[in-house]
Structure 1
Amino acid sequence: MARTGFDESERLAWEGRADAYAGGFARLCAYTVPALLDAAGVGEGTRVLDVGTGTGTAAVLAGERGAKVAAVDAEPDMVARAALAAPAADVRLAVLPGLPFDDDAFDAVVANFVLNHVGRPRQALTELRRVTRPGARVAATVWAVPSAAGQALLGRAVQAAGVTRPDHVPSLAPEDDFPRTERGFAELLGAAGLTDVVCDAVTWEHRTTAEEWWSGPAAGVATIGRIVTSQPPEVIALIKGHFASLSAEFAAPGGELVLPHTALLAHGRA
């Protein structure tokens, strides 16, 4: 299946940015991994596939549970990092919705904040179901919309600077999008052929520093990073100034930021 403009944009957004991701947003995304593995039933001897492994957090934790781990990512630098982090895992380069595995190959499949980054989420989930044996579970997370206050901080800084999304950073096509609510995400899994679907909101407070939180977009990581780094230097400085001002709302004693986040965790049976 041909890639969409959104897919191409996502590849550019992540190209060569594994180190920058590891230095900031990776800690945030790691929070949901234990619950994700629980939802998929990952334990001793489980054949598990970690799709969109990033720096390998889920692959590492699944291996620590005694699972037999395979992992894929669309970015070569992420694959290299994950392979170092989880040397016992079978880590490969692969781009959804095409996975290099046979039908019914796994006892569990997990995808942590991956469906945010594909142009056709339904087709991607259908592919996850294809490689999952009948009766086993697929579990995935996405960010909830509307965003929690901490997650919205960077976007508010961009908006306060009068910056809009550039044409070269496309949004997901309306026909491929879905409501980022518990019901909407559950229905997406059902549309991909999964049954016994459950979706819950997961909320937590992410503790970081202003320097760490700014480092991701400053390095061009993810969509917010592409928006920031596509601006001229004086506008980037303006965004950073608004970010510094707005960050005061989340400041804790000692200089930390405490950023509320909400994700959706859904799982269903193949």
Structure 2
Amino acid sequence: MSFSVAAEAYARFMGRFSEPLAVPFADYLELEPGLRALDVGCGPGALTAVLAARLGGGSVSAVDPSEPFVAAVRERLPGVDARHGVAEELPWPDDAFDRAAAQLVVHFMADPVAGLAEMARVTRPGGTVAATVWDFVGGTAPLTVFWRAALSVDPDAPGEARLAGTGPGQLDELLGRAGLVDVTSTMLTISVDFASFEQWWEPFTLGVGPAGAYLAAQPDDRRDTIRDACARLLPAGSFTLSAGAWAARGQVL
């Protein structure tokens, strides 16, 4: 799935969650000086920026199917090799990296197993391929409140729990099917503070991702009803939202 929205819109919608998540995910990659890392499905660069800060921009590459996102990474991180492309056909040779990571993208790949296998192809033997996806199945994803409200109004709302990698053990299975060995997994958690419900809600109106696209397709009265349903599920005034993401990693033979 390609996000055909401006990089700024994506950053306002998902960046508030993906940027905090990038820190523990980078820790999970066990980075060391001198390693080369690839960020697959980099978006506007939440994880890319953390990788570049820890390894140096010249040791980091990134790829995304959205040209505006690639342009945003090039502007933000000029030392990074950022390219336009898809996970299933990565534009790098075999064994080019020590780490290949996909943050919040496996569930949007056209073929998750093929995408992860490509990540393994461009990673050297003994290197690590890792991925993380929000815990939609367990209900701890940052968008869970939105989809719970939407389903209460519209039982046919798609949600995102049906997507690959969103439940326990799913990323492990996908990595195994892609040929990775010694696969392990864990749950990464973050917390995000909001000054008001409006601060939380407004980015949903930008049309980003499945949630934004679904909301944009609804008539005005239904959008208002979903908004009210969300407000009933969240505290009045300021609040902190905790969220969980499944993370899994495996080694390349």
Tell me, what secondary structure is at the counterpart of 2:55? coil
Contact 1:202 1:263 in 2 (8 A): yes
Contact 1:157 1:239 in 2 (8 A): yes
* Separation in structure 1 between the aligned mates of residue 245 and residue 62 of structure 2, nearest angstrom: 22
**In the alignment, which of 200, 204, 212 is matched to residue 225 of structure 1?**
212
What are the superposed Cα offsets for residues 7-59 of structure 1, whole Å, 9 maximum, x if unpaired? Answer: xxx32xx2024211211321201222223223323232211111111111222
* Separation in structure 1 between the aligned mates of residue 93 and residue 156 of structure 2, nearest angstrom: 43
1:199 matched residue in structure 2: 185
1:154 matched residue in structure 2: 146
2:20 matched residue in structure 1: 31
Contact 2:87 2:116 in 1 (8 A): no
2:247 matched residue in structure 1: 265
**2:171 counterpart of 1:185:** yes
* Separation in structure 1 between the aligned mates of residue 199 and residue 141 of structure 2, nearest angstrom: 17
Runs of 4+ in structure 1 deviating by more than 4 angstroms, as ranges, are none
The verdict on how the C-alpha distance between 1:149 and 1:82 changes in structure 2, with shifts beyond 3 A counting, is closer
| Structure-to-structure mapping, 1:168-183, within 5 angstroms | 177=164, 180-181=167-168, 183=169
**In the alignment, which of 212, 215, 240 is matched to residue 227 of structure 2?**
240
Contact 2:13 2:204 in 1 (8 A): no
Identical amino acids, percent of aligned pairs: 33
What are the superposed Cα offsets for residues 125-156 of structure 1, whole Å, 9 maximum, x if unpaired? Answer: 11110110100111110112222175411012
Tell me, what secondary structure is at the counterpart of 1:241? helix
- Alpha-carbon distance, 1:79 to partner: 0.9
What are the superposed Cα offsets for residues 194-215 of structure 1, whole Å, 9 maximum, x if unpaired? Answer: 1111100122332234223222
**In the alignment, which of 128, 133, 139 is matched to residue 130 of structure 2?**
139
> Given the two structures, how large is their TM-score scaled by the length of structure 2?
0.89
* Separation in structure 2 between the aligned mates of residue 232 and residue 179 of structure 1, nearest angstrom: 29
What are the superposed Cα offsets for residues 68-100 of structure 1, whole Å, 9 maximum, x if unpaired? Answer: 011111111111111122111011111121110
The amino acid that maps onto 1:100 is P
Tell me, what secondary structure is at the counterpart of 2:151? helix
Tell me, what secondary structure is at the counterpart of 2:186? strand
2:31 matched residue in structure 1: 42
Contact 1:41 1:137 in 2 (8 A): no
1:66 matched residue in structure 2: 55
> Given the two structures, how large is their TM-score scaled by the length of structure 1?
0.84
1:256 matched residue in structure 2: 238
Tell me, what secondary structure is at the counterpart of 2:132? strand
Paired residue total: 246
Cα RMSD of the aligned pairs, angstroms, is 2.0
Structure 1: 5+ residue stretches without partners: 1-9
Tell me, what secondary structure is at the counterpart of 1:32? helix
Contact 1:199 1:267 in 2 (8 A): yes
* Separation in structure 2 between the aligned mates of residue 90 and residue 56 of structure 1, nearest angstrom: 12
Structure 2: 5+ residue stretches without partners: none
Contact 2:93 2:122 in 1 (8 A): yes
**2:81 counterpart of 1:94:** no
The amino acid that maps onto 1:46 is L
**2:51 counterpart of 1:53:** no
- Alpha-carbon distance, 1:179 to partner: 6.5
